[in-house]
Structure 1
Amino acid sequence: MSQTLTTLGPDWPCQVKAPGTRDWERTAARWLRDLLPARYAGYSPLTRHPVLLARHAQLQLQHEMGAVRVALRTARAELPTLGIAESVIENTIRMYAVELDQLNRLARGVRLITDALLADGPGAAPRRRSPVQRVP
């Protein structure tokens, strides 16, 4: 297990098998599907094409990160007007910060999986970058 983590890096999702191993794409697709709202599970283009699924997961995460950033940026100004206590506001800000870290970690995992899928896909010799904007 530590050998795999060392090879794949700390951002590789532990639920996904290493590229090249049996069923790795199936485990990647399952992990990626779990990042999306449940209603997306029935869309055949996403379920049949793991690279498309990875692209959509990256877009979904980018939008979630944007929402969390707005919530962080506006919490101190808007939450008091809703009658939220200062202690609750502070806890909420900490929660948003933790969530933003988690979303960034997930986005890095999606990028790694996307790169691995592109490397294993048809005509894999030229590695193309995903058209999705990269998140630092």
Structure 2
Amino acid sequence: MPTYVAPPGWPGLVRPPDAPDWERTAQNWLLDICPPEYRSYPALRNHLVVLARFAVLHVEAQQAAVRRGLSEARADLREVAQLDVVDAAVATWQAEDARLSGVRRSAGLVEEALRGRRFIARL
């Protein structure tokens, strides 16, 4: 029986590389992390490596937006919101930054697998 290996950080909704139907699960997950409009582009739906590249770049752009929001939050919001609201906004930016870091790692691993990389189980 074959052993399929998914590395740490691999998305839970995507089957490991070479497992039956793994590319379909990768496509569905990648489309889910992208803007809904991406589903309408045949170039993305028909070419998984291209979709993966778009997904990685999209997540990186989200990370950049979150980091900008975090760096500007106190100055931009202090005149329009109470301090506790500003603190809550900063905490939200921080949580989103952490979430996106995990999504970026997962998307990168899926892209690598779609490009042919295979992972080895380590003890």
Aligned-residue Cα RMSD (Å) equals 1.7
Partner of 2:39: 41
Question: Are residues 1:9 and 2:17 paired?
Answer: no
Partner of 1:55: 53
> Identity, % of aligned pairs?
35
Q: Please, which of 105, 124, 130 is the counterpart of residue 102 of structure 2? A: 105
Query: 1-side partners of 2:111 and 2:76: how far apart?
Result: 38
CA deviation vs aligned residue, 1:23-66 (integer Å, no higher than 9, x gap): 00000010000011111101000000110000000110111111
The higher relative CO (CA closer than 8 Å, separation ≥ 6) is in 2
Question: Are residues 1:115 and 2:102 paired?
Answer: no
Query: 1-side partners of 2:31 and 2:37: how far apart?
Result: 10
1:10 to partner: Cα distance: 2.8
Query: 1-side partners of 2:81 and 2:99: how far apart?
Result: 25
Query: 1-side partners of 2:40 and 2:76: how far apart?
Result: 37
Unaligned runs of 5+ residues in structure 2 are: 118-123
Query: 1-side partners of 2:85 and 2:9: how far apart?
Result: 31
Name the TM-score, length of structure 1 as normaliser. 0.80
Query: 1-side partners of 2:48 and 2:98: how far apart?
Result: 25
Name the aligned partner's letter for residue 95 of structure 1.
Answer: T
Partner of 2:30: 32
Partner of 2:84: 87
Question: Are residues 1:66 and 2:64 paired?
Answer: yes
CA deviation vs aligned residue, 1:48-99 (integer Å, no higher than 9, x gap): 0110000000110111111101100001111012x21110111111111110
Name the aligned partner's letter for residue 57 of structure 2.
Answer: L
Unaligned runs of 5+ residues in structure 1 are: 121-136
1:9 to partner: Cα distance: 2.8
Name the TM-score, length of structure 2 as normaliser. 0.89
Query: 2-side partners of 1:102 and 1:116: how far apart?
Result: 22
Query: 1-side partners of 2:94 and 2:7: how far apart?
Result: 23
